[in-house]
Amino acid sequence: MSQVSTRLVRLLNMVPYFQANPKITFEEAALDLGVTEKQLRDDLQQLFLCGLPGYGPGDLIDFEMSGKTIEVTFSAGMDHPLRLTSPEATGILVALRALLEVPGMVDPAAARSAIAKIESAAGTATGEEDGAVVASDEPAPVENAAAAAVRSAVRNDHALTIDYYSASHDVLTTRTVDPIRVVLVGDHSYLEAWCRTAEAVRLFRFDRIVEARELDEPSAPPEPAVQAGPDTSLFDSDPSLPSATLLVHPSAAWMFDYFPLHVVRELADGACEATMTYASDAWMSRFVLGFGSGVRVLEPESLVERVRESAVAALAAYESLAAEVGG
């Protein structure tokens, strides 16, 4: 389980724990909860900001800390069974169904079970029997074996060997990584892990992990890498790199799912103008030419000229080869 998930579970259990153990000391509570006293105090500060809509006195969870002891003074309903309003249930259902579409974020069977239970409790099911609400019986999506292995390794804090396809280099590599967490960036889920080959933190997109094998050894990423939090700078435009404006034909729209492009505007015929940063004109020229007429460079002019020259050279090479074969 990721650190965020572990902390969330701990926070959800802290209010009933302190209600069951009034006037417990910080030292005793930290020992029971398996955290340091500093982490416990940080958790309590986080809980002070949680509560009911209104978010004023009498709405937020509150504790009394007298000397070395802790006592709950307002639980904000955390000691009562959860009762969702119709809009709340609908929001959770929409979120769960969206997560089902993103590989690696949740266990599909567990999510499908939760959806069925919420539908049943909220009365949003598809049928009724003898007056009772019956949840829709939808099969859980079949999870990719690689995604399941990655989730298992993250949950068990195990190292992982993956076969990973790099779109930018068009190569398949095998590497051993120490998982840190699963993160969601845009519409894609990524494994954030310490790559032993690169000796650095890397983000691996789930749909490019061809195969994954959980190892029988603990995941051991360097502590500074774990504490630093997810680094998504890869997806931000780097002002030090050149940027190209591309015209992407509808037939090549699938590239938005695989490459870091940013849509500038959509045209009436379904085409899009998009920007993309790149490291060198040579690489970007090869990249664009690979899409044929599906992608055209609009600017900068230097890249337009580079692509034009490369296309002319390629056509000349084909004509030369055709002449030799014909001769």
Q: Which residues have a Cβ under 8 Å from the Cβ of 124 and sit 6 or more positions away?
A: 86, 89, 90, 93, 118
Q: Give the per-residue pLDDT at 202.
A: 87
Reading phi first (left if > 0) and then psi (alpha if -120 to 50, else beta), residue 292 is in: left
pLDDT at 125 over 70: no
Q: Grade residue 128 by pLDDT with cuts at 50, 70 and 90.
A: very low
Separation between Cα atoms, residue 190 and residue 293, nearest integer Å: 31
Q: Which residues have a Cβ under 8 Å from the Cβ of 275 and sit 6 or more positions away?
A: 237, 243, 244, 245, 246, 261, 262, 264
Rounded to the nearest angstrom, the gap between the alpha carbon of residue 109 and the centroid of all alpha carbons in its chain is 19
pLDDT at 133 over 60: no
Of the candidate ranges 89-98, 172-181, 268-277, 284-293, the one whose mean pLDDT is the lowest: 89-98
pLDDT at 132 over 50: no
In the three-class reduction of DSSP (H, G, I as helix; E, B as strand; rest coil), residue 153 is classed as helix
pLDDT at 207 over 90: no
Read off the pLDDT of each residue in 160-168 and give the average, rounded to a whole number. Answer: 84
Q: Grade residue 130 by pLDDT with cuts at 50, 70 and 90.
A: very low
Q: Give the per-residue pLDDT at 51.
A: 63
Q: What is the dihedral of CA 148, 151, 153, 156, to 10 degrees?
A: -120
What is the identity of the amino acid at 205? R
Q: Which residues have a Cβ under 8 Å from the Cβ of 301 and sit 6 or more positions away?
A: none
Q: Give the per-residue pLDDT at 327.
A: 53
Q: Grade residue 230 by pLDDT with cuts at 50, 70 and 90.
A: low
Residue 139 DSSP one-character state: P
pLDDT at 124 over 50: no
pLDDT at 150 over 50: yes
Distances (CA, A) of 167 to 126, 193, 209: 43, 18, 11
Q: Grade residue 301 by pLDDT with cuts at 50, 70 and 90.
A: very high
What is the identity of the amino acid at 230? P
Give the pair of three-digit tokens for residue 321. 């080869």
Q: Give the per-residue pLDDT at 295.
A: 93
Q: Which of 69-78, 94-103, 262-271 has the highest mean pLDDT?
A: 262-271
Q: Give the per-residue pLDDT at 320.
A: 80
Q: What is the mean pLDDT of the chain?
A: 77
Q: Give the per-residue pLDDT at 49.
A: 66
